[in-house]
Amino acid sequence: MIFIGYDPREVTGFIIARYSITRFTRNLPIRGIVLNDLRARKLYYRPTEVRINSNGHHQLWDVISEAPMATEFAIARFLVPHLVKEGWALFVDSDVMFLRNPNELFAMADRTKAVMCVQHDHRPLNEVKMRGQEQTKYSRKNWSSVMLFNCNHLSNRKLTVELINTVPGRDLHRFCWLEDDEIGELPPEWNYLVGHSKLDEDREPALVHFTNGLPDVPGYERQEYADHWRAALPYAAGAL
């Protein structure tokens, strides 16, 4: 199963992310991580506010973390093991686009690992990202933007609903409930950060991640792989 983060401000991104999966395979169920749904099910009850950030824009604010949230699913993503219960499940941000079959990711699953991800050394220099949102900096940044969860792994039982709702988000994003050797590594082409990642000459991105802003955001229309994203838009809309 694949979960895509959903934010009402990035519906187009969600649609294209979903389409980019279905164009390769129809055998993987796709679900959204929708904050209102998770609140209604009493799985997510962290206090959230809307504040004016230093750029003068409205920003979601996580009270426990005392930090901004770039998306509604910033922390809700960690509920994936509770939504699936067993087997393997993939979470991806809504600003991604698959260029290869996601079944290839599941084929890499290592049952000795609790979570698998691309282990970036991502230290963004920009202070602002999509739509005027503040760029937050934390350990293991962007590791959690593409996560392959082993929902059967005993260590993931420590990722309780209470933990998810009570600790700072930065601790969850650095996988605070796991030992380092329980975090498996995926090849870098499976979370290619547009504008940041560099691959060896013999490698091409399998999943591109528009982490600074989608190509429909002013200022990001000409970034790498933006043409691929725009070319998919009419097909993605037609698949609804």
- For strand 192-193 and strand 207-209, is the pairing parallel, antiparallel, or unpaired? parallel
Average pLDDT, the chain: 92
Q: Per-residue pLDDT averaged across 187-207, rounded?
A: 95
Give the tokens for residue 158.
């420590």
Q: Residues near 125 by Cβ (< 8 Å), separated by ≥ 6? A: none
CA dihedral 186, 217, 9, 105 (to 10 degrees): -20
Could you tell me how far CA 78 lies from the centroid of its own chain? 10
Question: Largest alpha-carbon pair distance within the chain?
Answer: 47
Q: What pLDDT does 123 receive?
A: 65
Q: Which amino acid is at 162?
A: E
Which residue segments constitute the domains of the chain, with CATH numbers given?
2-15+26-233 (3.90.550)
Q: Check pLDDT > 80 for residue 55.
A: no
Q: Per-residue pLDDT averaged across 128-154, rounded?
A: 79
Q: What pLDDT does 124 receive?
A: 63
Percent of the chain residues topping a pLDDT of 70: 92
What is the pTM assigned to this prediction? 0.91
